A = this chain, B = another copy of it.
Amino acid sequence: VKTILQDKSGKAEPRTAAGRPRSEHLDRAILKAAVDLVLGSGFRALSMDAIAVKAGVGRMTIYRRWPNKAAIIMDAFVLRVDPDTLFFPASSFKESIRLQMRTMAKAFRGKDGALIRVLLAEAQFDPELAKALRERWTMPRRKMAVDYFRTGVGQGVLRSDIDLDAMIDLLYAPLYYRLQMGTGPLSDAYVDEIFEHGMKGLEA
């Protein structure tokens, strides 16, 4: 999935081969229209045409920017969450993890949760989207977590004989599970339960 917005992390202005740059304003209008429609009526009821009409835009203008609906939602999602900082300082190393888990759970309870559910689901059918989701959402966050957890190991707070990936999965996978399965609320109480007992196995 190659889109304009993802390239913005680089320096170059998004330009067409020889002509003028694509309108930033239209990008936003389309993303907003798409997100509104998804949150309003669900991804299945979302059509390129509906996005185009709602954004006041020709269909080709959308196709020029994104290959399919999922890529639009992908960009919209990344745009929303990018500025997030991950691990805030807290009273202790451990507490800052709990805080981060709570922040994530809160996001999952809101619009971000709805979007990520759509993206995760769609990614099962679309390898390109799966790759994009991995590269632009999952892996960056995992990397930050791994780095943070590694400092915990260095500080002697976390055990050194556990695979860092497994550590992360142990704490965070339950949040994704509840997000998708709906077997129970993603409440702070739940987060705490997972955190408390999950950490037991990770502490030095």
Interface residues of A (CB under 8 A from B): 42-44, 117-118, 120-126, 130, 134, 138-139, 142, 162-163, 165-167, 169-170, 172-174, 176-178, 180-184, 190, 193-194, 196-202
Contacts and interface: CB of A to CB of B under 8 A. Distances in A.
State the 9 A-B residue pairs at the shortest beta-carbon distance, nearest first: A200-B201, A197-B201, A121-B124, A173-B177, A173-B173, A121-B121, A169-B174, A173-B174, A166-B193
Contact of A181 (B117, B134, B178): B134
Contacts of A177: 169, 172-173, 176-177
B194 A170 contact: yes
Given A125-B43, A200-B201, A169 B182 contact: no
Which of A120, A142, A181 has the most C-beta atoms of chain B within 10 angstroms of its own C-beta? A181
Interface of A is mostly: helix
A201 B202 CA distance: 9
Given A169-B178, A173-B174, 12 more contacts: A43-B125, A44-B125, A117-B124, A118-B125, A121-B123, A139-B183, A165-B184, A166-B190, A166-B194, A170-B174, A176-B177, A177-B177
Which of A173, A174, A190, A198 has the most C-beta atoms of chain B within 10 angstroms of its own C-beta? A173
Contacts of A178: 169
In the complex this chain forms, how many copies of it are found? 4
Nearest to A169: B174
Contact of A170 (B125, B183, B184, B198): B198
A169 B194 contact: yes
A45 to B, nearest CB: 9
A170 B170 contact: yes
20 contacts: A43-B125, A44-B126, A118-B124, A118-B125, A120-B180, A121-B124, A134-B181, A138-B181, A162-B197, A169-B177, A170-B174, A170-B198, A173-B176, A176-B176, A176-B177, A176-B180, A197-B202, A198-B198, A200-B201, A200-B202
